[in-house]
């Protein structure tokens, strides 16, 4: 078999993994909103300690009992918790404890009491394969894009390690029992721990990349979300509308826009204060979001104005949806106190790409004209661009 310096390979892999653990720990400290890196950092350290103990165990002339395998299993259990947390699931903290106890009992019984090294190797390999398969299942996702690719590669590595452990168990069950009298010299050990250490480094690197991608995505989300209402801000709205326009224009679908303005909002701020004004904005955004369809895009355009882009929607269809929004807001006043309600209304302008084209500014300009027509007509009403142009021609 090919000879290599196992200690050097494992040491270098564990050193690099330790450095990644420090990076994960620092990230956990400064970005507590992202779950998972803390488990991975501690898991790496525990696995590294377990690897060191296993190497010591293999380096002595006679087999001694050290909980190296149990610590490696516990570290992998912590990785399971990290993946669960990263996927916004509740981590099962019993997993690393159960794995540690099982592997400790196996080593205690079969190494110290029964002296059956073969059975200890087989059972430990089966437990490790089960952990790796579970990790492969947790990291298997249908999510597309870069994050989905990272998950797919990680899942493949875990699956590969599971197959390796199954092969280790199968091979151990077939070889002559005399092999285990010089267990430390068994070549399968060297290859198993070398591949385990290297794969652990690559898996840790992939988790660092996934974490970096998720943090960048969160930053992009912060940059495009209105912190007060939770809907898109103006920048996010423009980006989303451009994407929608490209799709609708490519497959020749109409799209409509609603420009929604809160009536007498300045009077609300002057009378009740800006804190209540903020409550009004949140209430309006929540009401509109509850009425719009899942394919529609809603954003706060500025001040007390909201804007919604509606794909595959004509002006007539948009008028019906706008009327539902107007009626829904009028029918849901904000409670100020016992038997005291603040009634709010909105004026809505409607336009579509059939009459205004797909251009973002053109659509908004026509919807803005319709919205001011609604305000000039007495507020708390819906008007379309077609209606105001028809009224202008009649005049």
DSSP H helix total and E strand total for the chain: 14, 7
* Tally of structural domains, the chain: 2
Domain-embedded: residue 228: no
Please check whether residues 338 and 255 belong to one and the same domain: yes
Whether the model clears a pTM of 0.95, i.e. scores above it, the answer is: no
Task: Give the pLDDT confidence score for residue 103 in this predicted structure.
Answer: 92
Please check whether residues 193 and 296 belong to one and the same domain: no
Residue ending a domain, choose from 161, 191, 223: 223
Please check whether residues 253 and 308 belong to one and the same domain: yes
The C-alpha atoms of residue 170 and residue 173 are separated, in whole angstroms, by 5
The C-alpha atoms of residue 87 and residue 342 are separated, in whole angstroms, by 41
Say which residues have a Cβ less than 8 Å from residue 197's Cβ, sequence separation at least 6: 9, 10, 13, 14, 17, 51
Please check whether residues 33 and 125 belong to one and the same domain: yes
Domain-embedded: residue 229: no
Please check whether residues 290 and 192 belong to one and the same domain: no
Domain-embedded: residue 209: yes
Domain-embedded: residue 1: no
Domain-embedded: residue 58: yes
Q: What is the residue-wise DSSP string for 233-262?
A: -HHHHHHHHHHHHHHHHHTT--EEEEEEEE
Residue ending a domain, choose from 191, 223, 255: 223
**Domain with 39 in it:** 6-223
CATH of the domain at 315: 3.30.70.270
Tokens for 8? Answer: 């050097």
Please check whether residues 57 and 155 belong to one and the same domain: yes
Tokens for 138? Answer: 């947790």
Task: Give the pLDDT confidence score for residue 166 in this predicted structure.
Answer: 93
Residue ending a domain, choose from 176, 204, 223: 223
Task: Give the pLDDT confidence score for residue 182 in this predicted structure.
Answer: 59
**Whole-Å CA distances, 259 to 29, 99, 284, 363, 373:** 42, 58, 13, 10, 12
Task: Give the pLDDT confidence score for residue 261 in this predicted structure.
Answer: 94
304 is catalytic: yes
Please check whether residues 154 and 70 belong to one and the same domain: yes
Active-site position among 61, 304, 323, 330? 304
Please check whether residues 160 and 250 belong to one and the same domain: no
pLDDT in tens, the chain (395 residues): 445 566 676 677 677 777 777 877 787 777 776 788 888 888 888 888 888 787 776 665 555 556 788 998 999 999 999 999 988 889 999 999 999 999 999 888 887 777 777 888 889 899 999 999 999 999 887 677 787 888 899 999 999 999 999 998 898 888 776 666 655 556 676 677 778 777 878 888 888 888 888 777 776 767 788 889 989 998 888 888 888 888 888 888 899 999 999 999 999 888 888 888 899 999 999 999 999 998 899 999 888 999 999 999 999 999 999 999 999 999 998 887 666 788 899 999 999 988 888 888 888 899 999 999 999 989 999 999 888 876 555 55
Please check whether residues 211 and 337 belong to one and the same domain: no
Nearest residue to 305 (alpha-carbon basis) of 258, 238, 361: 258
């Amino acid at each position: 078999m090919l000879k290599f310096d196992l200690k050097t390979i494992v040491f270098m892999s564990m050193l690099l993994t330790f450095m990644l653990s420090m990076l994960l720990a620092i990230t956990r400290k400064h970005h507590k909103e992202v779950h998972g890196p803390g488990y991975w950092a501690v898991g790496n350290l525990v696995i590294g300690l377990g690897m060191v103990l296993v190497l010591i165990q293999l380096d002595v002339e006679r087999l001694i009992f050290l909980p190296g395998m149990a610590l490696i299993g516990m570290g992998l259990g912590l990785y399971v918790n990290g993946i669960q947390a990263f996927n916004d699931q509740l981590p099962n903290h019993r997993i690393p404890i159960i794995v540690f106890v099982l592997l400790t009992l196996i080593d205690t019984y079969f190494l110290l009491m029964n002296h059956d090294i073969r059975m200890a190797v087989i059972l430990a390999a089966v437990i490790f394969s089960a952990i790796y398969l579970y990790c492969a299942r947790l990291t298997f996702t249908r999510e597309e894009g870069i994050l989905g690719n990272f998950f797919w590669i990680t899942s493949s590595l875990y699956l590969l390690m599971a197959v390796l452990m199954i092969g280790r168990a199968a091979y151990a069950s077939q070889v002559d029992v005399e092999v285990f009298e010089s267990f430390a010299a068994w070549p399968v050990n060297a290859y198993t721990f070398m591949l385990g250490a290297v794969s652990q480094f690559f898996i840790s690197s992939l988790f660092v990349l996934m974490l970096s991608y998720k943090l960048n995505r969160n930053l992009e989300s912060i940059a495009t979300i209105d912190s007060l209402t939770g809907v898109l801000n103006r920048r996010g709205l423009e980006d989303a509308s451009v994407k929608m326009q490209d799709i609708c224009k490519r497959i020749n679908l109409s799209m409509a826009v609603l420009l929604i303005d809160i009536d007498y909002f300045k009077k609300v701020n002057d009378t009740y204060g800006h804190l209540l004004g903020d409550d009004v904005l949140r209430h309006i955004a929540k009401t509109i979001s509850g009425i719009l369809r899942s394919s529609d895009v809603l954003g706060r355009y500025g001040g007390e104005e909201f804007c919604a882009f509606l794909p595959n929607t004509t002006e007539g269809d948009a008028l019906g949806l706008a009327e539902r929004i107007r009626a829904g807001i009028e029918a849901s006043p904000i409670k100020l106190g016992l038997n005291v309600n603040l009634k709010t209304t909105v004026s809505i302008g409607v336009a579509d790409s059939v009459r205004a084209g797909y251009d973002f500014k053109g659509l908004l300009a026509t919807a803005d004209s319709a919205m001011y027509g609604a305000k000039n007509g007495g507020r708390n009403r819906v008007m379309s661009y077609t209606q105001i142009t028809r009224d202008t021609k009649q005049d």
